[in-house]
Structure 1
Amino acid sequence: CNPGNPTGYLYSRDEIKKLAKIVKKYGLFLVADEVYREFTYDGREHYSIIQEEGLEDHAIIVDSVSKRYSMCGARIGYLVSKNKEVIKTAIKFAQARLSPPTYAQIAAEAALETPKSYFEAIKEEYVSRRDILISELSKLEGVVVARPQGAFYCIAQLPIKNADNFAQWLLEEFNVDGETVMVAPAAGFYATAGLGTNQVRIAYVLEKEDLIRAVHILKEALKAYPG
């Protein structure tokens, strides 16, 4: 995923080229989810695997309208490849399945007319939200967080042992003035068992004031958490 979910990491051109060498050496496919490609920050630009010369038979892009146009309920996606055999096989599979909802297809087609100015405004808003979230999280004792380069997520390491238990406790037993926060335990995003057990994913999709409030609630929760 580039930029990545859940970290917001953006692969550089050099990193893509290194991956390309490995792919070509061993005859592999390089599959990239580029659904967040418009959402890159701090002057960084997204470099697609389809731009890399020599990957014509290896590169497969998976994309969707869901994140780009805030249409998460519309299950409309697509696959891009210059490998004709891959496309031929994908079409066979697609024809064997039911089609996406008609209304979602109509809405997705209309969304393609969205002007470039929309994405410019959205990027500015996400940068502002990201900066506030990272700033507020960095003030919390024992919390470690990196600065995302794209998408709208970050991974925060918390001073706890088990994020699954903490997330459940937040929802079932904790509140500040009737409010709590929901976090996604990060262990499920790791391929290696045992990693990410004290980390959570946070999405900065709320208004800035709500993000500040959410971090305040998280701060109080960490103070009160018995685990």
Structure 2
Amino acid sequence: MSKVSMRGQEMPESPISKLVPLAAAAKERGTKVYHLNIGQPDLPTPQVGLDALKNIDRTLLEYSTPEGYLSYRKKLAGYYKKYDINVEPDDIVITCGGSEAVQIAFMACLDPGDEIILTEPLYANYLGFAIPAGIKVRTITTKIEDGFALPAVEKFEELINEKTKAILICNPNNPTGSLYTPEEMDQIRDMVKKHDLLLFSDEVYREFVYTENPYISAGSLEGIEQNVVILDSVSKRYSECGVRIGALVTRNKEIRDTAIKFCQARVSPPLVGQIVAEASVDTPDEYFREVYDEYVERRNCLISGLNDIPGVFSPTPMGAFYTVAKLPVDDADKFCSWCLSSFSYEGQTVMMAPASGFYITPGAGRNQVRIAYVLKKEDMERAIIVLRKALEAYPGRVEE
């Protein structure tokens, strides 16, 4: 008899974690590994957040309310208004990171057997949250040649049936770095309204937009206010991945009240994390200007360097801090493993995330990788040189 559940057998392995042992072994051999594989910002956490952490003077670290401290939710409501997201503190539920926000949204809104539509490549953990909830994920594949733009509405219409309950978007997008235009957001709004669907909108990267096109939050779309659930996190905008604070935001009271019941089951979001996150709402604008300028410089360095390598193509990402690149290789999974297990150039190698792990369609993304530009420019330039040398030496290189 199997000792493992069917859910456990269906759970996908992280496209990043499976390479971690190989990276550790490379380091043991004395090889320097340039980590382009994970969205862990290396820029400093805002000083106001660090000061709040250092100056905690409580004598008791107690539970907060299941939905999070009111003082923090009040400050968050003010923050959201800057992005034309007009919500009240009671519309906000604090979660244990953005991951729990996704998980609770699925559990509160969808039943086993319900279907949700996403574009792929997609954030791999969405599938990891859908499987335990018994939700069927249906995908529309976007194309690297088109910069992973939103597919035509007709592509969505082909998938919508009586079991379809929601659409999930990530804007700006992880893993592609694409950003939906105002026209594309209007298309999504009209489709949601026409079919009375839920719209889950992962907006973790809203601070990282590198285009003159305005960033449009799903929370600002008129006519579907009761259909929208925003999923958020402080991990990226404040470089606070470790405090594990996210938020579920909705003006739909029934969804909010149901979400809180799931929050009651896990008792409380992290106390210390809420203290740091609440203080971080007061981060000065100068911090974001410096962070923005740094990521733009890194992005430009990476995209220019990638597209200068023979056989490599990457569209220019308009947001977040990722890009998906097409490589001249037979299999990106094998190539990424080979870089860590069998290759080094002047004692250095690169670690990337095979893009196949961000697709559900079998065989899709086989020659693509996701690259996170979370290294300083000097390291990024060096990593590009190492990647070029690796592609020149790789036995499975494919010449077009």
Does residue 106 of the first structure (1) align with residue 275 of the second (2)? yes
Query: In the alignment, which of 95, 99, 102 is matched to residue 264 of structure 2?
Result: 95
Cα deviation, residue 191, structure 1: 2.9
Partner Cα separation in structure 2 for residue 14 and residue 182 of structure 1 = 36
User: In the TM superposition, what is the alpha-carbon distance from 1:124 to its structure 2 partner?
Assistant: 1.0
**TM-score, with structure 2 as normaliser:** 0.56
1:214 is aligned to 383
| Paired AA for residue 57 in structure 1 | Q
Tell me if the contact between 1:30 and 1:58 (Cα under 8 Å) persists in the aligned partners. Answer: yes
Work out whether residues 38 and 46 of structure 1, in 8 Å CA contact, stay in contact via their aligned partners in 2.
no
**Higher RCO, 1 or 2 (CA under 8 Å, sep at least 6)?**
2
| SS of match in other structure, 1:181 | strand
- The answer to whether the aligner puts 1:175 opposite 2:344 as a matched pair is yes
SS state at 2:350 partner: coil
* SS across alignment from 1:144: coil
Deviations 1:94-119 (Å, cap 9, x if unpaired)?
Answer: 11114233222211112111112211
1:71 matches 2:204: no
Q: Distance in 2 between matches of 1:177 and 1:24?
A: 57
Give the aligned length: 227
User: What SS does structure 2 have at the residue aligned with 1:145?
Assistant: coil
Supply the AA of the counterpart residue of 2:235: S
Equivalent residue runs for 1:120-199 within 5 Å: 120-199=289-368
Which residue does the alignment assign to 2:149? none
Superimposed CA distance per residue, residues 50-74 of structure 1 (whole angstroms, 9 cap, x where no aligned partner): 1110111111100000011011112
| 8 Å Cα contact 2:218-2:228 kept in structure 1 | yes
Q: How many angstroms does 1:141 deviate by? A: 0.4
Does the CA-based 8 Å contact 2:301-2:377 persist in structure 1? yes
Task: Give the aligned residue type for 2:179.
Answer: L
What's 2:37 paired with?
A: none
Aligned mates of 1:86, 1:166 — CA distance in 2: 44
Partner SS for 1:62: strand
1:83 matched to 2:225? The reply is no
Which stretches in structure 2 are left out of the alignment for 5+ residues? 1-169
Two-structure CA RMSD over aligned residues (Å): 1.0
2:287 is aligned, of 94, 106, 118, to: 118
Identity of aligned residues (%): 55
CA offsets per residue over residues 13-58 of structure 1, 9 Å max, x none? Answer: 1111101111111111010100100110132321001111011111
For 2:286 and 2:228, how far apart are their aligned partners in 1? 30
3-state DSSP class of the match of 1:9?
A: coil
Which residue is 2:206 aligned to?
37
Describe the SS at the equivalent of 2:242: coil
SS of alignment partner, residue 180 of structure 1: strand
Whole-Å separation in 2 of the counterparts to 1:69 and 1:78: 14
Q: Which residue of 1 aligns with 2:374?
A: 205
Q: Find the residue that maps to 1:167 and give its secondary structure.
A: helix
1:140-189 deviation per Cα after TM superposition (whole angstroms, max 9, x unaligned): 00001100000000000000021111111111111112111100001111
TM-score, normalised by the number of residues in structure 1: 0.97
**Using the alignment, how far apart are the partners of 1:82 and 1:194 within structure 2?**
40
CA distance in 2: counterparts of 1:88 and 1:193, whole angstroms: 38
What is the rounded CA distance, in whole Å, between the counterparts of 2:194 and 2:385 in structure 1?
50
Residue 48 (structure 1) aligned with residue 217 (structure 2):
yes
Once structures 1 and 2 are overlaid, which stretch shifts more, 151-160 or 108-117? 108-117
Contact 1:30 1:59 (8 Å CA) reproduced: yes
SS of the equivalent of 2:207 reads coil
Q: Is 1:2 matched with 2:167?
A: no
User: What are structure 1's unaligned runs of at least 5 residues?
Assistant: none
Q: Is the alpha carbon distance of 1:82 and 1:206 closer, same or farther for their aligned partners in structure 2, counting shifts above 3 Å?
A: same
In 1, the alpha carbon distance for the partners of 2:187 and 2:360 equals 21
